[in-house]
């Protein structure tokens, strides 16, 4: 049965009207909400308690309006620079281990960010994800409070990292991406902004707590991981991931060393030395030219405690003090691993 032209036109104009309204709402927001200095954009805006750039705020509205989650979807959520690239590789290769051989794996030819989409870069018209097989994997840096309610009922893996390492990793990354016509971002300025909660998707502590508290209420739905824990015991984490995603390893797989092979495939040493991650470019979203990032920018050192090279004693104590105050009643301890 074909759709009548008049019905199609009516649907299109309704969609246009909806999107025009979204754009108007966005413009109004940007004019009215608080703004501060950005790290790679001129300004970040405080949207419902979190600092985002204006494009990402608009994408958040798009996701709320147009993204249709399925109950079987699995999300990887993280604050920027917490190890998303690594976890994407681990989740993808664990879930899809029946699809690829280790000698000719997808990850040997594609950057980890190609494995599954980052929701935050979805613009209008939203990508058609309906053809992806279940369970579909998505990544996001949005704090839990900015996710559409239907997503919060899906399974979520949250990855947290020690904040001083996050700060240093983010500062390096943003300096690389910061346009040349902006003055350089000094570490001192980045530090002050970070402590005040002002960095993309910040405040860091509220971001982490938004998922931590939910994970306490609903541990079957939110697997809360720490970068430092993945570093120390990657095999244990890969097994946890497999079970959480509904695909536990069989005794035969364990016997054959599949867990260890996944860990080795996704290791910093292996991934960062692949041609695709040395010279390839990751294209985020549909505006490829604007959102191309060299894959090598996602692999810097991959270590814990690198902050010790950059932060003075006073700076480190100040961040630790904030972390202590913000997390003190939560039961979350962020850095017991080194
Ligand atoms: P994103 O938010 O832009 O996606 P994300 O992947 O979360 O970045 O974080 C990048 C950090 O993870 C980098 O940390 P560093 O700056 O302290 O070095 C990067 O080196 C690290 N990383 C990337 N891949 C791996 C890996 N396979 N193992 C360990 N760390 C990794």
Task: Kindly state the average pLDDT of the residues 205-229.
Answer: 97
Residue 292 — very low, low, confident or very high, per pLDDT cuts 50/70/90?
confident
Per domain, the residue ranges of the chain are 16-327
pLDDT for residue 1 = 46
Cα angle 138-165-142, degrees, rounded to a multiple of 5: 30
Based on the number of CB atoms within 10 Å of its own CB, is 184 exposed (0-12), middle (13-18) or buried (19 or more)? exposed
In this predicted model, what pLDDT tens digit does every residue of 302-326 receive, in sequence order?
A: 999 999 999 999 999 999 999 999 9
Mutation probe of ligand 1 site: the residue of 164, 298, 300 with most atoms within 8 A of C-beta: 298
**pLDDT reading at 3 higher than 70:** no
Residue 292 C-alpha to ligand 1 middle, in angstroms? 17
Distance between CA atoms of residues 155 and 215, nearest Å: 10
pLDDT for residue 2 = 47
Contact 210, 143 (CB under 8 A): yes
In this predicted model, what pLDDT tens digit does every residue of 112-146 receive, in sequence order?
A: 999 999 999 999 999 999 999 999 999 999 999 99
Q: State the pTM of this model.
A: 0.95
Residue 193 C-alpha to ligand 1 middle, in angstroms? 21
Residue 86 C-alpha to ligand 1 middle, in angstroms? 6
> What does the mean pLDDT of the chain come to?
94
In this predicted model, what pLDDT tens digit does every residue of 88-115 receive, in sequence order?
A: 999 999 999 999 999 999 999 999 999 9
**pLDDT reading at 272 higher than 80:** yes
Please state at what angle helix 313-327 crosses helix 204-217, rounded to 10 degrees.
40
CATH of domain 16-327: 3.40.50.300
Percent of the chain with pLDDT strictly greater than 70: 95
Task: Kindly state the average pLDDT of the residues 249-257.
Answer: 98
Residues with CB under 6 A from ligand 1: 78, 80-86, 165, 169, 172, 266-268, 271, 298-302, 306
The beta-carbon contacts of 267-272 under 8 Å, at least 24 apart in sequence, are 267/234, 268/86, 268/299, 268/302, 271/85, 271/86, 271/89, 271/107, 271/112, 271/299, 272/296, 272/299, 272/302
pLDDT for residue 110 = 96
Residue 170 C-alpha to ligand 1 middle, in angstroms? 10
Percent of the chain with pLDDT strictly greater than 90: 90
Show which residues are catalytic: 141
In this predicted model, what pLDDT tens digit does every residue of 167-191 receive, in sequence order?
A: 999 999 999 999 999 999 999 999 9
**pLDDT reading at 8 higher than 70:** no
Ligand 1 atom closest to 271 (CA):
27
Mutation probe of ligand 1 site: the residue of 163, 169, 272 with most atoms within 8 A of C-beta: 169
**Which residue puts its alpha carbon closest to atom 31 of ligand 1?**
302
Ligand 1 atom closest to 79 (CA):
2
Residue 132 C-alpha to ligand 1 middle, in angstroms? 26
């Amino acid at each position: 049965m074909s759709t009548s032209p008049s019905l199609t036109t009516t649907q299109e104009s309704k969609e246009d009207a909806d999107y025009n309204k979204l754009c108007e709402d966005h413009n109004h927001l940007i004019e009215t909400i608080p703004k501060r200095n950005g790290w790679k954009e001129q300004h970040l805006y405080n949207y419902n308690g979190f600092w985002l750039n204006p494009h990402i705020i608009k994408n958040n509205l798009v996701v709320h309006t147009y993204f249709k989650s399925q109950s079987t979807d699995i999300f990887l959520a993280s604050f920027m620079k917490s190890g998303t690239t690594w976890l994407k590789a681990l989740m993808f290769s664990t879930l899809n281990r029946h699809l690829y051989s280790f000698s000719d794996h997808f990850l040997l030819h594609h950057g980890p960010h190609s494995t599954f989409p980052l929701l935050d870069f979805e613009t209008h018209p939203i990508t058609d994800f309906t053809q992806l097989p279940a369970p579909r994997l998505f990544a996001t840096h949005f704090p839990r409070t900015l996710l559409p309610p239907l997503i919060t009922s899906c399974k979520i893996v949250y990855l947290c990292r020690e904040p001083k390492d996050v700060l240093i990793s983010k500062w390096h990354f943003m300096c690389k991406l910061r346009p040349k016509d902006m003055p350089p971002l000094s570490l001192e300025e980045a530090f002050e902004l970070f402590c005040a909660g002002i960095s993309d998707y910040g405040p860091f502590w509220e971001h982490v707590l938004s998922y931590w508290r939910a994970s306490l209420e609903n541990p079957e739905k939110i697997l809360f991981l720490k970068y430092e824990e993945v570093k120390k015991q990657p095999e244990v984490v890969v097994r946890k991931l497999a079970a959480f995603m509904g695909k536990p390893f069989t005794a035969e797989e364990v016997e054959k060393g599949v867990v260890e092979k996944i860990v080795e495939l996704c290791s910093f040493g292996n991934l960062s030395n692949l041609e695709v991650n040395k010279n390839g470019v990751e294209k985020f979203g549909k505006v490829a030219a604007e959102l191309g990032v060299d894959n090598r920018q996602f692999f810097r050192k991959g270590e814990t405690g690198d902050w010790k090279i950059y932060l003075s004693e006073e700076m480190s104590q100040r961040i630790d003090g904030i972390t202590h105050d913000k997390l003190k009643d939560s039961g979350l301890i962020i850095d017991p691993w080194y």
